[in-house]
Amino acid sequence: MRGAVLIALLAAPVAAQDVYPLPEGCRAYVTIQMRDCSVSHHFTCAGDPEGYQHRVDLDEEGLSYSGTIDAEAQWMASRHYRSMHSEVLEAAPADRSSMSALLAEGYDSWDFVTESPEIGPTRYVGFDRLTGDEVVIDGQRLLRTEYEIVATMADGTEVWRGTGREYVHPDWRMFLSGQSSYVMPDDSFETDGAPVEFILPGEPGFLSRNPKHGCGMVMSLLSIDTTEEISR
């Protein structure tokens, strides 16, 4: 089912209106406006395994990302529209990510490989840790996390590494972006995709195609796709 949803997102026509069209049989439960001039829609679809969630991100240029997570917020599949490559989780990860472990124990490690017909396999190793801090953003209670991640090619060559602080929504069982730093062999950069607004069904701006915050700023656009944003 997750593959069918991603194909439907890729094939969806550009709507004349400002509302983002979801695939048939899917229902959105929140739209999130982020600090980095992006807007994210989170939704579930009929026929999915229990606990599966989907997400699409849009920026000033349109659709940039679509992805699927399972009930443990484990990354399952994604499509990256700028680099035009897709990824799916390997069948038997060495160390699966677990939202339950993170919430119960305050720490969760992971070690898994994604398969991509365009770029080949990539291994991701790292951890998430709860900091003990809680914040409320636009009425939503979030837990602060910190993480580290290293991405390597099949031969062990390091592609990039990252560190940062994100958020977990414990009720929706998903990660939300925050402040991150990335290092590659010949470059480095920082991002801040922290949530600013949570828009629920029936509220103005729900399923809007238009990002609101941080737009118009000069930003360095680098062709790197991150884990969560192996997107959890």
CA 164/CA 146 separation, integer angstroms = 6
% of the chain residues with pLDDT over 90: 85
pLDDT confidence bin for 62, thresholds 50/70/90? very high
CATH number (2.60.40, 3.40.1710, 1.10.3470, 2.40.360) of 2-199 reads 2.40.360
Only one residue has tokens 């799916």, namely 88
Query: With contact defined as beta carbons under 8 Å apart, do 149 and 124 qualify?
Result: yes
Q: Could you read off the pLDDT of 166-205 as tens digits, one per residue? A: 999 999 999 999 999 999 999 999 999 999 999 999 999 9
Q: Which of 17-21, 61-65, 146-150, 157-161 has the lowest mean pLDDT?
A: 17-21
CA 209/CA 214 separation, integer angstroms = 15
pLDDT confidence bin for 136, thresholds 50/70/90? very high
What is residue 160's three-state secondary structure?
A: strand
DSSP one-letter code for 128: E
- Domain borders along the chain are 2-199
| pLDDT score recorded for residue 229 | 46
Which pair of structure tokens corresponds to residue 19? 């509302």
Mean pLDDT, the chain, rounded, equals 89
**pTM (two decimals):** 0.86
| pLDDT score recorded for residue 192 | 96
Single-letter residue type at 80: H
CA 74/CA 89 separation, integer angstroms = 9
| 40-66 CB burial, b ≥16 within 10 A, e <16 | bbbbebeebeeebbbbbbbbeeebbbb
User: Whose CA is closest to 232, among 55, 111, 85, 106?
Assistant: 55
CA 230/CA 111 separation, integer angstroms = 13
Beta bridge partners of 145: 130, 166
Only one residue has tokens 């339950």, namely 100
214 or 16, greater pLDDT: 214
Q: Which helix (H) or strand (E) holds 100?
A: helix 99-105
